[in-house]
Amino acid sequence: MGIERREFIKKAGVFSAAGFLPTKILSFEEGLSAEGPVKMTNFVIKNVQVLSMDADIGDFERASVVVENGIIKSVSEDEADFPNTEIIDGEGAILLPGLIDNHWHLWTSLLRSMAGDSKNEGYFPMTARYSKLYSPQDMKLAAKYAAAEALNAGITCLNDFNHNARTPEYVLASFDAFSEAGMRGHVAYGPYRDLSCDTPTDFEGIKKVLEIIEGDKKYKNISLGLGARSVNSQFLKEDWSRARELDLPITIHASSTEDQKGQISKLANIGLLGNDVNIIHANFITNEEISAVKESGASITMTPYSEMRIGYGFPQVNRLMQSGINLGVGVDTTALSGNADLFSILKLLLNIRNAQAKDEFATDPKEVLKMATINAAKILGIENETGSVTPGKNADLIMLRKDDLNFSASTQPYHLVVEASQPANVEFVSVGGKILKKNGKLLSVDGKELVKKAKDTLKRMTEQV
């Protein structure tokens, strides 16, 4: 424990949403909510090591975290019991905020590792062929299949760039999947592979989705954005203007390959960059573009496994982490990445940066972990709701048990989380106070049933393709 944090504790006593522990902790029964597939409970996690990702709160070697009505009420070193409240023993575990994946094309999850070894079987032609065979029901299955894998791996919030958005129903499928799984999320309404470059963007469909989600409280934790078309689209300026009129954040793939070098400069030169823009990949970003992005307040998300697997080149981790630009991280597509292990992606980013810097000590693992927690929340504009273990925020929490062969015997918790953890080490997951994984088992979804449905759907489509 650092000296500054000790002094802060002495002055504050405990950390809580009201500045002190609530005088009454609701009973288990009183804390139940009728919403969602898994009911909300009030609970206390005791004796747990906390990595809060909140600079003001700091970290705890041993603490109690109190959750009431889906909100973190307090984080303190107090070990008092709370009668009639569910007590979860966190002895030998690390508690941190749920991970946030800032870029994933969920519909491609049914095509796991399907990118082959020839040009015709490459990622883009393969997904283009299969994309035409999806129904809205298939889109929902794919999103729910991905959401279950994400929750199992400690990801509590997903940013789905839907680029198979053929109708509003294809987009609403992700909203329904998130809602039923109990996840927090964001969905970017994008184009689709065989959309003619001369066809205007479907803003009537976008408005329909907005109207539906704003009128139904089951979607309250899921937001909508624009998944922008190519930088070269003739509708680029018009689309972004209309998106901003609707207050929709914008996501765009740019400067991903060497052939696309200069795309970010084009966005800057025509005045489109802003703090509502998230740029994906940016493998071939120039120094001038880095300055333009930073000045505009835009963010960048890297997806190293997919970028390297498809041959885009190395993500510019060292240059971008030195720049001060807010950075996120994503799985992108399991058609290329194979799985949704965000811990391994963070480890890869740390190692790439050290390699690029030629310096063993270039990267603080805490700064990498921020890319999947508090900094990711800032990209989505939800940093006041989630992204850290902070009183007053939603109880989006994960706990990793430190008694597995691969995840134990260490005094360096940030290094341990980034370098050693795997989805199998995720013991507990809650989103907004709803416990979605406990004792290492998913509660909100039937994984075996999802696997069966995914296999059956892929078999059907493979026979049709």
Q: Which amino acid, one-letter code, is at 443? A: L
Residue 460 counted as domain residue: no
Classify strands 222-227 and 184-189 as parallel, antiparallel or unpaired: parallel
Contact 374, 97 (CB under 8 A): yes
- Tens-place pLDDT, residues 365-380: 999 999 999 999 999 9
| Domain harbouring 16, CATH code | 2.30.40.10
Can you tell me the mean pLDDT for 244-250? 98
pLDDT tier at 80 (50, 70, 90 boundaries)? low
| Residue 232 placed within a domain | yes
**Last-in-domain residue among 329, 361, 380:** 380
Token digits of residue 302 = 């890297």
CA distances from residue 428 to 93, 152, 330, 420, 453 in whole angstroms, order as listed: 10, 9, 21, 17, 25
CB 229 within 8 A of CB 240: no
CB atoms within 10 A of CB 292: 18
Say how far apart CA 392 and CA 389 lie, in whole Å. 9
- Evaluated on CA atoms 446, 447, 451, 454, the torsion sign reads positive
Q: Looking at the structure, do residues 397 and 366 belong to the same domain, yes or no?
A: no
Domain that holds residue 306: 99-380
Query: Do 433 and 312 share a domain, yes or no?
Result: no
Do residues 106 and 138 make contact, with C-beta atoms less than 8 angstroms apart? no
Q: Give yes or no for a contact between 70 and 85, defined as CB atoms under 8 angstroms apart.
A: no
Which of 358, 380, 402 marks a domain boundary? Answer: 380
Which helix H or strand E contains 322, and what residues bound it?
A: helix 317-323
Q: Which of 59-63, 76-80, 312-316, 400-404 has the lowest mean pLDDT?
A: 76-80
Residue 126: inside a domain? yes
121: domain CATH number? 3.20.20.140
| 448 in any annotated domain | no
Q: Is residue 129 part of a domain?
A: yes
Q: Are residues 32 and 91 in the same domain?
A: yes
**211 and 304: one domain?**
yes
DSSP state letters, 202-226? -HHHHHHHHHHHHT-GGGTTEEEEE
Same domain, 211 and 254: yes
Residue 26 is predicted with a pLDDT of 31
Choose one of 380, 401, 429: the last residue of a domain: 380
Identify whether residues 300 and 425 lie together within a single domain: no
Residues 408-424: tens digit of each pLDDT: 989 999 999 999 999 99
pLDDT digit string, tens, across residues 131-141? 999 999 999 99
One domain, residues 364 and 401: no
Q: Give yes or no: residues 152 and 280 share one domain.
A: yes
Q: Return the DSSP state at 154.
A: T
> What is the C-alpha end-to-end distance of the chain, expressed in Å?
58
Regarding whether 261 and 197 lie in a shared domain, the answer is yes
Do residues 388 and 374 lie in contact, with contact meaning Cβ atoms separated by under 8 Å? yes
393 DSSP 8-state letter: S
pLDDT in tens, 175-230: 999 999 999 999 999 999 999 999 999 999 999 999 999 999 999 999 999 999 99
Does 268 share its domain with 416?
Answer: no
Q: Does 406 lie in the same domain as 310?
A: no
The pLDDT value given to residue 32 = 29
Is the pLDDT at 91 greater than 50? The verdict is yes
Q: Are 428 and 399 in contact (CB under 8 A)?
A: yes
**Amino acid in the structure at residue 453:** K
Residues 79 and 106 in one domain: no
Q: CA nearest 78: which of 99, 59, 57, 62?
A: 62
Please, what sign has the CA dihedral across residues 217, 219, 225, 229?
A: negative
- For residue 465, tell me if it sits in a domain: no
75 is a domain residue:
yes
pLDDT computed for residue 83 by the predictor: 72
- Tell me how many domains the chain contains: 2
Average pLDDT, the chain: 92
The stretch 115-129 carries a mean pLDDT of 96
Host H or E run for residue 362: none
pLDDT band at 84 (very low <50, low <70, confident <90, very high): confident
Average pLDDT, integer, range 7-19: 42
Least Cα distance to 21 among 62, 76, 59, 71 occurs for: 76
Is 457 part of a structural domain of the chain? Answer: no
Give the mean pLDDT of 118-147: 97
